[in-house]
Structure formats: C-alpha cells, structure tokens
C-alpha cells in the first residue's frame, strides 16, 4: 500500500490519498492522469490492466486501486 | 449569401423537437437551443455593441453551444475560453480581443475576478430569466453581412502574445457546405464529439450538425480513461460519426479496446489535428471494415480543413497516410523556395486560397501580413492566400503527402531532415505506442521521446535498420505516457521545454 501511495503522489502531487474517497467523481484524477497512472501501475506491478478494469469504481480511492492490483496479481 | 444563423433557424423550423446537442446528463432540442441562444442574444444586444468580442467561459455543455449561438445572434463574435485555463493566459487573450461581456456560470465567475476583467458578466441564471426579443434580433440581422466575424479562435499551447484567428460567417458556411456534402451529413447523423469548443475541429461537427438537423453528443473527457463507458455512451447515443484527434483514436487501439466492447453504430471515422499513425489506423480498420475512414488536414486559418484523404487502400504500419486532395472550393498550391510551383515529388510549402481562408488575426496586423499574403503565383490582381508553414509534396497518384512543419524541418550534420520521418519509423515498431521527435538547435541533437514496452536500446537498434545514420536520435527517452494538451493532441511544446537542455 505504501508503494502505491508513493506512486499516486508522484502522478498527482498534493492530494491526501489516504482519506480521499472520490478521486474520480470529484475530478481530482482527470482522464490523462488516470491513463498515466495505469501505465505506471502496469510497469511497477507487472500486471495487465484491461479495459474491463478501467471503471471509475476502481480508481475512486487508494484502497480501490490497491484491491484491483491485488486481484490482478493473483 | 446567408449568415450561419439563417441556416440554423431553418433546422430549428424543420426539427424543433429533435435533440441538437446533448451530453452525459441532458440535452437541448433544436427549439430549446434556439430559445436559450435568443435569450442570450437579448441580454447582449442591450449592451449596444456590434461586431465586438464576447467571451464564453464555460465547460463544454449544451448551454455553452447556446451561449456561442447567442453571441452570434447578437451581431457579435464569440471567443470560447477553456475553463481550466490559467487566469494569466485568459488575461492575455482578453488584452487582445477586449471582450465587452463574458458569459459564464456562477462556479466560474469567481475565477474571472483574477483576470481583472471589468466588463459585463452574464451568468446562466441571468440568461434564463431574460426575455427573448425576436424583433431586436431581426434588426441586428438586417445589418449583418456574411463577411462579419462569427468567432475568434486562439491556438493553444503557444507562448508569448496569443494569436486569435477571425473566422467569418462566410468561412463557416462555405466550409460546412463542403463537409456536409462530402461526408453525407444529414438529420440521421449523430456525432460523438471529442474536441473542445475552443479548438477548430469542433467547428466541423458542431456546425455541420446544426445546419442539417443532426445531433451532437458531447463525449465527457473522463470517458477516454474509462473506455468501456465510452463505448456504452456511444451506443446509447447511437453515435455513427466521429471526428477525433488521432491521439484519442490511439487510446482505443493501444489497449485493444474492441476485444472487450465495440461501438455498434459507427459508419464514419474521421480524424485531423496531428499525424494518424498507420499501425493504430489499421487496428481500427480491422475492427470496422465497413466504415469510411478519412484523414482531414488544415489549419484554424482555413476554418478547419483544406485537404482530405478518404482511405481507399491499405497501408503498411509506419507508411505515411496521404493528406489527399483539396476540398471543393479550396485552392492549394505547393510552392518551392524559388517561389515557383513544385513539380510532383518536390517538397514545398502549402498555400491555401478560397472562401475557407479566414479574415486574419484579431488586432494583429503584423502577424496577419506575415501569414495572409498575396498569392505568389498571381501578380495580376489582389488575391490573399494563407501560407500554412506546412511542407508537403505530391506523390505519383497526385495526392498530397504531409512532410512536416516548416519550423520542424531541421538541418543536422549537413542533411535536411524531417523529424516526422523519424517518428513514422519509430511508431511502426510493435513495442511503440506513440512518440514525438524534438530537435535542440543549440546542441544539434535529435531527441526521440516515446511511450511503449520496447527499451531504448532495442528501439535504437530497430531504427538503425530503418533510417539513415544521420537521422538516428542522439537520445531516446521512454515515458510512462506521453503528455497531451487540452485538445487531446501530443503536447509537443511541453516536451520541447522539458528536453531543451539535453
């Protein structure tokens, strides 16, 4: 989780990712940032994030992103 | 000749209850769009200004389209301001066009105070409460001509004093004449609109739609990160025609989207604004073999487009796509350094003439005189053509091929090099999703920046096999993702700034 928080703050500095639960719905992460983030996650965790995983629910909080990564790593 | 709103009025009469513009949350019918635009016009006409600028400072919504039309009905011209634009840049644009009014919503009105704008601020709420005044619109209309400005469009990403192109009613009418006829736009067309209203490409789908009773479905920007939702939205709206920047088309191709979801109603896929890599185009064609694909080409200064190519044969990955032939009513000349017309195969600068050519830059006679010039091939009478700064040539089929920007053509180790050629070669490699080449004149180094799986060493080896030694980049930079500007295109200005010291 810590590694993920680090990546998140690199991709989008100045956001409290531990508490924020509406990263997508409130517009904190825009489409370009999400595309950037997906590329980083694919690289760092060596996972394949297919279009099926690219839904707002998977990106609204650090927890949701983390859960997605764990699911894809299995 | 008629002005644009004459054509729009006709659509309103024929299709009052049909949706004109919609987004994810709601839509406006032709009658509603017209009514809202007429209320806006009434509020503006009371300011007593003519042929002056009014800014539209709103997100891309159906109401934003109504505000733009409202300015046009009032006998003035509009300037759309990106709601995400920094206040300082807005101030620079306002310094050039000096808007007498800004139409906005209450959320954005606050940010407006940072721009030191002191004219009339008209919010959506105020417009809703205004009574339309058809008599006033008729009086304004009686004094308007088709050579009046309809809007002023500022090109994005540039530095220094912003340049605003003045586009007239006649420009938009003659340009959409061509587009509607060529691509068979009618009341059954539903556009899936990707580009922002402050970008010339949006003129094409918005105004072609409003002239024909078609529908413009605004695609929320966030859907390009959530492609399954994008496809669902397109299917729900029954989008059959798209006109996007290639970077947006590449997002779908690079993630193999159509293996998971596919737009069901697409019949036309059109693109412009940057070079479409053939590898990703081939992916689209493979999934939509019955669609018409077309590469459109042109600057804001010719309203949007001056040449086009309807894809009629197959291309290998990395083989450049032609930009085709002149649009109807467009005169194209390819002129060499000697000031004479180029022979086929010979590279020269593209000049465009005819009724699509805009009036010039607002409040900028120097830049206007540099780019809107007397046709060098005509010394007999005054004829203004636009000097595009694009280097092109004719191929053996008589099609125009884009070679690069004039300011993109470099001299390196004594050779004249088109950076675009290096990009084409790199983009054709399987592990490369997108790329851009920049040149640092100070250090005389070519830098290739790319996104993809291939390592720098591998890509350099692959390039060695495809381009001559003198064209090999001195440095390759692999990025997680390429930066894009607010139009959706690769942000070359940013890349250049970031790598200028390397």
Query: b/e for B287-303, b at 16 or more Cβ within 10 A?
Result: bbeebbbbbbbbbbbbb
The domain locations on chain A are: 2-9+21-73
> With bands split at pLDDT 50, 70 and 90, how would you rate the model's confidence at B158?
very low
- Would the pLDDT of B457 be above 50? yes
Helices (H) and strands (E) in chain B, counts: 16, 26
B405: which residues sit within 8 A by CB, 6+ positions away?
A: B389, B390, B391
Comparing B391 with B443, which gets the higher pLDDT? B391
Please identify which residue in the block is written with the tokens 């995983």. Answer: A53
Query: b/e for B135-168, b at 16 or more Cβ within 10 A?
Result: ebbeebeeebebebbbbbbbbbeeeeebbbbbbb
Q: Which residues of B touch A32 (CB under 8 A)?
A: 225, 481, 483-484
Question: B225 vs A32: CB contact, 8 Å cut-off?
Answer: yes
Question: A55 vs B226: CB contact, 8 Å cut-off?
Answer: yes
Question: B222 vs A51: CB contact, 8 Å cut-off?
Answer: no
Please identify which residue in the block is written with the tokens 């989207």. Answer: B257
Q: What is the CA radius of gyration of chain A?
A: 11
Which one of A23-32, B128-137, B424-433 scores highest in mean pLDDT?
B128-137
Query: Between the CA of residue B154 and those of B85, B86, B88, B300, B351, what are the distances in Å?
Result: 12, 14, 15, 9, 21
Domains of chain B: 1-186 (3.40.50.12780), 320-403 (2.30.38.10), 413-498 (3.30.300.30)
Question: B225 vs A54: CB contact, 8 Å cut-off?
Answer: yes
- Would the pLDDT of B371 be above 70? yes
- Would the pLDDT of B91 be above 70? yes
> With bands split at pLDDT 50, 70 and 90, how would you rate the model's confidence at B404?
confident
* Mean confidence (pLDDT) of chain A: 92
CA B433, CA B215: separation in Å to the nearest integer?
33
Question: A55 vs B221: CB contact, 8 Å cut-off?
Answer: no
CATH label, A2-9+21-73, candidates 1.10.1200.10, 3.20.20.140, 1.25.10.10, 3.40.1190.10: 1.10.1200.10
SS3 for B309? strand
pLDDT, one tens digit per residue, over B297-338 is 999 999 999 999 999 999 998 888 999 999 999 999 999 999
Please report the pLDDT score of residue B421 as a whole number: 85
Phi/psi at B360 (5° precision): 140, -165
Please report the pLDDT score of residue A39 as a whole number: 87
DSSP string, B411-445: EETTEEEEHHHHHHHHHTSTTEEEEEEEEETTTTE
Alpha-carbon gap: A22 to the closest alpha carbon of chain B (Å): 14
- Would the pLDDT of B93 be above 80? yes
Q: Structure pTM?
A: 0.91
Please report the pLDDT score of residue A36 as a whole number: 85
Query: b/e for A43-71, b at 16 or more Cβ within 10 A?
Result: eebebebebebbbbebbbbbebbeebbee
Q: Which of A40, A42, A52, A54 to mutate to test the interface with B (most CBs of B within 10 A)?
A: A54
Q: Which of A10, A22, A35, A56 to mutate to test the interface with B (most CBs of B within 10 A)?
A: A35
Residue B97 · residue B53 · CB < 8 Å: yes
Summarize the confidence of residues A46-68 as an average pLDDT.
Answer: 94
ipTM greater than 0.90: yes
């Amino acid at each position: 989780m810590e590694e993920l928080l680090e990546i998140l703050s690199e991709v989008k500095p100045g956001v409290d990712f531990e508490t924020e639960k509406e990263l997508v719905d409130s517009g904190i992460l825009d489409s370009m940032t999400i595309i950037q983030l997906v590329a980083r996650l694919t690289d760092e965790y060596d996972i394949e994030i297919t279009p099926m995983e690219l839904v707002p629910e998977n990106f609204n909080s650090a927890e949701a992103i983390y859960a997605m990564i764990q699911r894809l790593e299995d | 000749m008629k002005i644009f709103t004459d054509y729009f009025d006709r659509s309103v009469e024929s299709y009052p209850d049909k949706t004109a513009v919609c987004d994810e949350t709601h839509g406006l019918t032709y009658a509603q769009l017209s009514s809202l635009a007429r209320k806006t016009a009434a509020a503006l006409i009371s300011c007593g200004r003519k042929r002056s600028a009014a800014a539209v400072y709103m997100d891309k919504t159906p109401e934003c389209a109504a505000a733009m039309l409202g300015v046009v009905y009032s006998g003035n011209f509009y300037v759309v301001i990106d709601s995400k634009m920094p206040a300082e840049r807005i101030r620079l644009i306002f310094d050039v066009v000096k808007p007498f009014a800004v139409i906005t919503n209450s959320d954005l009105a606050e940010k407006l105070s940072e721009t030191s704008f002191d004219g009339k601020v008209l919010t959506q709420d105020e417009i809703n409460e205004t009574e339309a005044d058809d008599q006033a619109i008729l009086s304004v209309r009686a004094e308007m001509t088709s050579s009046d400005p309809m809007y002023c469009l500022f090109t994005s990403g540039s530095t220094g004093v912003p340049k605003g192109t003045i586009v007239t009613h006649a420009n938009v009418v003659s340009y959409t004449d061509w587009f509607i006829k060529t691509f068979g736009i009618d009341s059954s067309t539903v556009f899936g609109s990707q580009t922002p209203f402050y970008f010339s490409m949006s003129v094409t789908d918005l105004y072609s739609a409003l002239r024909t009773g078609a529908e413009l479905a605004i695609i929320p920007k966030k859907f390009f990160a959530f492609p399954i939702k994008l496809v669902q939205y397109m299917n729900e709206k029954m989008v059959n025609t798209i006109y996007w920047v290639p970077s947006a088309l590449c997002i779908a191709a690079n993630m193999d989207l159509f293996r998971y979801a596919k737009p069901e109603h697409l019949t036309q896929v059109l693109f412009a604004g940057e070079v479409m890599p053939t590898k990703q185009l081939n992916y689209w064609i493979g999934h939509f073999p019955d669609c018409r694909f077309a590469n459109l080409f042109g600057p804001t200064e010719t309203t949007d487009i001056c040449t086009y190519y309807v894809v009629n044969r197959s291309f290998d990955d990395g083989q450049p796509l032609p930009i085709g032939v002149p649009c109807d009513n467009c005169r194209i000349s390819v002129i060499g350094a000697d000031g004479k017309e180029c022979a086929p195969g010979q590279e020269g600068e593209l000049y465009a003439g005819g009724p699509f050519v805009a009036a010039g830059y607002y409040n900028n006679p120097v830049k206007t005189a540099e780019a809107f010039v007397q046709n060098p091939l005509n010394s007999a009478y005054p004829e203004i053509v636009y000097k595009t700064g694009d280097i092109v040539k004719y191929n053996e089929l008589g099609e125009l091929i884009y070679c690069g920007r004039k300011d993109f053509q470099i001299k390196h180790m004594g050779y004249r090099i088109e950076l675009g050629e290096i990009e084409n070669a790199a983009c054709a490699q399987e592990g490369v999703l997108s790329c851009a080449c920049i040149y640092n004149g100070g250090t005389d180094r070519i830098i290739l920046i790319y996104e993809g799986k291939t390592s720098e060493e591998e890509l350099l080896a692959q390039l060695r096999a495809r381009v001559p030694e003198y064209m090999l980049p001195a440095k390759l930079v692999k990025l997680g993702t390429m930066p894009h500007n607010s139009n959706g295109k690769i942000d070359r200005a940013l890349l250049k700034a970031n790598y200028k010291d390397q």
